[in-house]
């Protein structure tokens, strides 16, 4: 990824229309410019996850800033950057990063316990190629990721927001997918997976409709070897859900 010093200031997210929501989404959209795909909730954090945050955060995380990320400074080396949005407890992130030591992984997550859990895994496994940003991924992608720069994007089991009135909170909607696609380098990939059939159909429709992307398969892709089964996937399978992977690539410019 090229070293960049300017700010992209893309306004693509302002394309998200305000919605007639009644659950705080309106106020949120006015304040942030978009409807968030998460809600802040009080969640349990273990003492060891909290300790990891207290001690390891300065070493392996970087703050959200309205300025483009400098890859060499961030990872201490150049190299392909894979962005993962919503890593949850980070077990998949850690496994993939261990199996692909030459790639740099940027994990973005808002959930405290998840950030603590991934920090612990980084430390326990001696992983050098993961950095964390604890912030809304929509703002990170918009403000910190240079156009045409990412080698790949992973979005595994994003919150399905199953109720129809909450679908507006789903992460993978046309304006954000367009923004994300614009940050992927030509030839780079966009890999997402879900265990909600209706969200899989939405993903397929939205990704297929994005002019910057092309599908690597006719529709859904077989799970590639590099993606281990995630925590949410295991839960979904236990509940009898199917699993759908989608792998698209950024078209050559
Ligand atoms: C259903 S969990 C899936 C976690 C993990 N990928 C897995 O498969 O086990 C979705 C995660 O995405 C995170 N998330 C949702 N919206 C986000 C956003 N806009 N920015 C960063 N993280 C987000 C949530 O906090 C949650 O941990």
Set out the domains of the chain in order of their start, with CATH numbers: 53-250 (3.40.50.150)
CA dist list (Å): 22 to 27, 44, 164, 168: 9, 27, 13, 12
Q: Whose CA is nearest to atom 13 of ligand 1?
A: 86
Could you write out the DSSP letters of every residue in 109-168? ---HHHHHHHHHHHHHHT--SEEEE-S-HHHHHHHHS-TT-EEEEEEES-----SGGGGG
**Binding pocket residue ranges, ligand 1, CB within 6 Å:** 37-38, 85-88, 108-111, 114, 136-138, 156-159, 171, 230-233
| Range in 11-20, 27-36, 189-198 the model is least confident about | 11-20
17 vs 25: CA distance, rounded Å: 11
17: confidence class by pLDDT, cuts 50, 70, 90: very low
Q: For position 13, what pLDDT does the model report?
A: 42
pLDDT average, residue stretch 224-228: 95
Give yes or no for a contact between 221 and 247, defined as CB atoms under 8 angstroms apart: yes
* Structure token digits, residue 195: 């265990």
Please give the residue that has the higher pLDDT: either 222 or 15: 222
Q: For position 9, what pLDDT does the model report?
A: 34
226 vs 157: CA distance, rounded Å: 16
Annotated catalytic residue within 103, 159, 225, 245: 159
Return the best residue to mutate from 91, 92, 95, 110 for the ligand 1 pocket (most ligand atoms within 8 A of CB).
Answer: 110
Cα–Cα nearest to 104, from 139, 48, 62: 62
97: confidence class by pLDDT, cuts 50, 70, 90: very high
pLDDT average, residue stretch 45-67: 97
Whole-model pTM: value is 0.90
Give tens-digit pLDDT for 180-206: 999 999 999 999 999 999 999 999 999
Please give the residue that has the higher pLDDT: either 242 or 21: 242
Torsion of CA 87, 89, 93, 95, to 10 degrees: -160
pLDDT average, residue stretch 47-74: 97
User: CB under 8 Å to 20, separation ≥6 — which residues?
Assistant: 26
User: CB under 8 Å to 42, separation ≥6 — which residues?
Assistant: none
pLDDT at 20 over 80: no
How far, in Å, is the centroid of ligand 1 from the Cα of 18? 23
Q: Using the structure block, give the residue that is written with the tokens 């894979």.
A: 82
* Structure token digits, residue 247: 């792998």
What length does the chain have?
A: 253
CA dist list (Å): 11 to 110, 120, 143, 243, 248: 22, 36, 10, 33, 24
Give the DSSP H or E segment for 55.
Answer: helix 47-60
pLDDT average, residue stretch 245-253: 95
23: confidence class by pLDDT, cuts 50, 70, 90: low
């Amino acid at each position: 990824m090229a070293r960049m010093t300017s700010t992209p200031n893309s306004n693509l997210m302002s394309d998200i229309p305000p919605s007639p929501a009644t659950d705080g989404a309106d106020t949120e959209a006015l304040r942030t410019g978009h409807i968030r795909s998460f809600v802040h909730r009080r969640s349990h954090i273990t003492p060891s996850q909290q300790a990891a945050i207290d001690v390891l955060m300065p070493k392996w995380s970087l703050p959200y800033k309205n300025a483009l990320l400098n890859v060499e400074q961030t990872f201490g080396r150049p190299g392909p950057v894979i962005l993962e949005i919503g890593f949850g407890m980070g077990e998949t992130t850690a496994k993939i990063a261990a199996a692909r030591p030459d790639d740099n992984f940027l994990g973005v997550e808002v959930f405290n316990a998840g950030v603590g859990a991934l920090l612990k895994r980084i430390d326990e496994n001696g992983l050098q190629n993961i950095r964390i940003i604890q912030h809304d991924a929509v703002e990170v992608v918009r403000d910190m990721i240079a156009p045409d720069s990412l080698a790949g994007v992973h979005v595994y089991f994003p919150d399905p927001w199953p109720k129809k009135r909450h679908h507006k909170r789903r992460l993978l909607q046309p304006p954000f997918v367009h923004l994300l696609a614009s940050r992927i380098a030509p030839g780079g990939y966009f890999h997402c997976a879900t265990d909600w059939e209706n969200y899989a159909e939405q993903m397929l429709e939205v990704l297929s409709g994005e002019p910057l992307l092309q599908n690597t398969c006719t529709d859904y892709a077989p799970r590639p070897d590099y993606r281990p089964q995630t925590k949410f996937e295991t839960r979904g399978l236990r509940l009898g859900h199917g699993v759908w992977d989608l792998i698209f690539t950024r078209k050559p410019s």
